[in-house]
Structure formats: structure tokens, C-alpha cells
Structure 1
Amino acid sequence: MTGSYTRTASGTFTITDARYVGGRVGADLRQLYNLYGKPTLDSIEDYAEEIAILLNRGFLDTVDYGFRDTATNTWKLRLRYKATVGGQLTDSRPGSFPDPVDLTGHAFYSFLTYSSAFSLLTSSEKTGLNLPFSRTTGTAPSALAGTTTAGHGYARNGTGVARDIYVAH
């Protein structure tokens, strides 16, 4: 038996597509919760919705989730998601984390970088996005000596996020 399959991309990335991608990131965060007890389950839903809203509108650059040393502002374990359009997009299964890491004394933290398009919005347009929570400004934690593993990502309809995981030595 022979057959063929043709798929045509519509070129439209909808909020439903963005929520699919956000849901995959949420699954990674639930895995963090299962391994390390953080982030809280309630906050995971908010993080996933934040990604969906920003990705759908083209306002997400990167977002990091992980555990940092608050005294030195350095990552011990970090999941970074970089917004990606077109190119070599993958839609992987959530998870596939490195072996568990000792995070004693490290606090859960998230750091988001907006795209340049976000800076063009007025303050009322930013408020109108209805993000699930407000972020404060801060300094991104450093990733000093460690290992970064890339090659994982989540995408739908031509847009998504590429994930890398950093683990400090």
C-alpha cells in the first residue's frame, strides 16, 4: 500500500498555538516541581500563560527558570527558553533533564527578557496584555563554570521556543 501526506502551514500563529508551547514549558516546570519541590503548582500555570501571551504577540526573547545562589546571583540549574520563529524548530517531549542536582541552599528564580518589539509599546499597551503577574526589573543571574545542553524545543505552526539546560559544576 502506498500513500502520501501533505501538510500546509497556514502561517498564522494563534493564541491556541502559543498555549500549546506554553503548556510544554509548563510540563518541564512540573518536572522541576516533582524533582525539587519548586516552582509551586499555581505559579506554573501563570508562567505557562505568560509565555503564551508574550510568544503569541512576539514580545518574548528569553525566559529562564531555575535555582540560583542568591548571595552571588549565579545559577546552579537553569532552564532557558529562547523564542524562535521558522528555521529548525523542533517539538520534543517535555522532560529529558540531566541527573538530579543538589540544590540545597538555592532558591527558585525566574528571569525574563522581552523582545525589542515590547519596548515599543506604550505603558497602557503593556498593561493591556493582561499578563498573569507583574515582573520587577533585576539583574540576570550569571552562568559561570558549568555545562549547557541544547537541542530540545517546543513549537507549533512555525513558532516556538528552543530550550537549553545549564548545570553549574
Structure 2
Amino acid sequence: MTGSYARSASASFTITDARYVGGRVGADLRLLYNLYGEPSLDRIDDFAEEVALLLRDGYLGTVDYGFRNTATNAWKFRLRYKATAGGQLTDSRPGSLPDPLDLTGYTFHSFLTYSSAFGLLTSSQQAGVKEVLPISRTTGTAPSALAGTSTTGHGYARNGAGVHRDVYVAH
């Protein structure tokens, strides 16, 4: 089932709404686990909660989950979720991933960017936000997505905010 939602000015995006969206992301990650054995089930719950907390507060930019070549820092397969609010949002069913790939030699990796609203916080406020997240991230360089195919049009939303999903597969 697919639907579109518009957020009114009086609507408020709650942690319940954010956890609904995070749960949809978690469902995609469980499918990755079923297909490829990564990420681990306990990490999936932490990734879903991280998305929910950052989305609720407007601090999520994008978050990527996938498999990369560690030597070249290039994605072989990536799910990218971009935070979106207002306008036309789609709430799709989790899944609809490409056929299983041979990911032998590739390692699971996640990369997150924060929103511009997060960048406006003081360094102590940013540290406070990061401190309550279930995932401790380090600074790094985003893996590249060079020659490949990207598929868009899938997303998860509730009460006027959510994420758009992009699936990238390298050639």
C-alpha cells in the first residue's frame, strides 16, 4: 500500500511517528540480514532508534547502509535514506530490494550525515545529541558510488515527515 501525506502547520512529529519510520528502515535492514548476514540483529534495533531520534529532532540528513570495498572505499550495494519533511511523502512497504548480489569480499558499512539544523547547534549541544544516540559514530569519508544504477521512489513517512530511500548497485 502506498499513500501520500501532507503535513499541516499544526501537526507535530512525535517520537512515536519517528519510531514508525525508523521501524520501516529497520525492516529493510532485517531483509539485508536475511540475505547477507549483516548487520547483526542487535545493531539493527540501534540503527532504527538512531534514525528515529535524529528524525524526530530534525537532525538527520542522510544515512547509508550497505556493503563496500574497504580498500577503495567504494559501495557495491547501498541503501540511502534522506530525511524529508512536508510536501508529498510516500509511505511504502519495506523491502522491494534488488535480487541478491554476490558480496563476497565486501564489508557492511554505515555512513550518516547530519542536517543543517544540527550544524546550527553549538558544539556542546551537538555532543549532547550524539551522547543519547545508541550508535557511536566516528568521523570518516563517505564511500564513493561511481558507476552503477540508482533506484528511487520508495519512502517511509508518518505525520508529515519521513525518509526517501535510494538503492544503489555498482556495475
The question of a shared fold, defined as TM-score above 0.5 by the shorter chain, is answered with: yes
The residue aligned with 1:90 is: 90
Identify the match of residue 135 of structure 2 among 120, 133, 136. 133
**Residues 7 and 161 in structure 2, CA contact (< 8 A), matched pair in contact too:** no
Distance 1:151 1:12 in 2: 25
The residue aligned with 1:160 is: 162
Alignment of 1:54-65 (within 5 A): 54-65=54-65
Distance 1:127 1:45 in 2: 22
TM-score after normalising by structure 2 = 0.91
1:8: how far off? Answer: 8.9
The residue aligned with 1:3 is: none
1:23 aligns with 2:23: yes
Distance 2:96 2:105 in 1: 24
Identity %: 77
The residue aligned with 1:123 is: 123
Cα pair distance change 1:90/1:8, threshold 3 Å:
closer
Per-residue deviation, residues 62-111 of structure 1 (Å, max 9, x unmatched): 00000000000000000000000112200000000001111000000000
**What SS does the aligned partner of 1:128 have?**
helix
AA aligned to 1:66 is G
**What SS does the aligned partner of 2:51 have?**
helix
Per-residue deviation, residues 36-78 of structure 1 (Å, max 9, x unmatched): 0000000000000000000000000100000000000000000
Distance 1:8 1:90 in 2: 12
Distance 2:98 2:86 in 1: 27
AA aligned to 1:81 is Y
The residue aligned with 1:113 is: 113
CA RMSD of aligned residues (A): 1.5
AA aligned to 1:47 is F
Distance 1:62 1:138 in 2: 14
The residue aligned with 2:3 is: none
Alignment of 1:58-73 (within 5 A): 58-73=58-73
TM-score after normalising by structure 1 = 0.92
Query: Which piece of structure 1 moves more, 108-117 or 119-128?
Result: 119-128
What residue ranges of structure 2 are gaps of 5+ in the alignment? Answer: 1-5
The residue aligned with 2:99 is: 99
Q: Which has the larger radius of gyration?
A: 1
**Residues 67 and 109 in structure 2, CA contact (< 8 A), matched pair in contact too:** yes
What residue ranges of structure 1 are gaps of 5+ in the alignment? Answer: 1-6
